[in-house]
């Protein structure tokens, strides 16, 4: 669970899947502390650092499900967010760069090295950004598709690692 924040995504996956080896990472110290508390019941390991750099190297090529809650708000739109987001969330949790996809591209670029054969990367994005996000996954060698939930107005890009050799 990259960009794990409070660890909610990792906790939800662990609750749904049962026994898992759960690792989560975030760059923000306060988020890491919160995630450690929230993931303790699931035996989760929470690491502080920038994306994959925070994860133990032994996970390379072994990850079955990689959820990444990357920031995807374009820099120019951050001031337009509701006050509660701007005032209570770290900028690193909101600002996704000029088009909102900078961190998504960084995750997609390295995901193939970390995913097990057949493993998948899950990243939420906006409806407007979805085509470019799918393209970014494809350019990085992932088989990409878009999952939609009309009721929740959610757009998740799913990238599968079809490389039969783990860690490549």
Residue 164: the pLDDT is: 63
What are 115-156's pLDDT values in tens digits? 999 999 999 999 999 999 999 999 999 999 999 888 888 899
Signed CA dihedral, 159, 163, 164, 168: sign only: negative
Q: List C-alpha distances in Å: 83 to 32, 79, 87, 94, 143.
A: 23, 9, 6, 12, 37
User: Does position 52 have pLDDT exceeding 50, yes or no?
Assistant: yes
Question: Are 52 and 66 part of one and the same domain?
Answer: no
**Of 41, 59, 77, which one is at a domain's C-terminal end?**
59
Among 59, 82, 101, which residue terminates a domain? 59
pLDDT score at 168: 47
The 10s digit of each residue's pLDDT in 71-112 is 888 888 888 888 888 888 888 888 788 999 999 999 999 999
Examine the domain organization and report whether 143 and 68 are in the same domain.
Answer: yes
Are residues 131 and 165 both part of a single domain?
yes
Query: 98 and 157: one domain?
Result: yes
- Residues 84, 10: one domain? no
Residues 46, 66: one domain?
no
Task: Say whether both 74 and 146 belong to one domain.
Answer: yes
Question: What are 50's two structure tokens?
Answer: 């920038």
Ramachandran angles phi, psi of 25, nearest 5°: -145, 145
Can you give the pTM of this predicted structure? 0.90
Name the residue range of residue 162's domain.
61-168
Residue-averaged pLDDT of the chain: 92
Do 81 and 136 reside in the same domain of the chain?
A: yes
Same domain (yes/no): 106, 141? yes
165 — pLDDT class (breaks 50, 70, 90): low
Same domain, 126 and 90: yes
Number of domains the chain is built from: 2
Domain boundary at 59, 85, 105, which? 59
């Amino acid at each position: 669970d990259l960009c794990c924040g409070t660890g909610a995504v990792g906790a939800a996956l662990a609750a749904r899947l049962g026994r898992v080896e759960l690792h989560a990472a975030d760059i923000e110290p306060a988020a890491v502390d919160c995630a450690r508390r929230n993931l303790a019941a699931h035996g989760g390991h929470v690491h502080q650092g920038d994306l994959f750099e925070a994860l133990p190297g032994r996970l390379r090529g072994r990850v079955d499900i990689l959820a990444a809650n990357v920031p995807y708000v374009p820099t120019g739109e951050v001031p337009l967010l509701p006050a509660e987001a701007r005032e209570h969330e770290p900028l690193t949790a909101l600002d996704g760069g000029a088009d909102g996809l900078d961190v998504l591209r960084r995750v997609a670029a390295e995901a193939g090295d970390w995913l097990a054969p057949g493993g998948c990367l899950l990243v939420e994005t906006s409806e407007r950004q979805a085509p470019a996000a799918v393209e970014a996954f494809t350019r990085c060698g992932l088989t990409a598709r878009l999952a939609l939930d009309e009721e929740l107005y959610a757009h998740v890009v799913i990238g599968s690692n079809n490389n039969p050799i783990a860690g490549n």
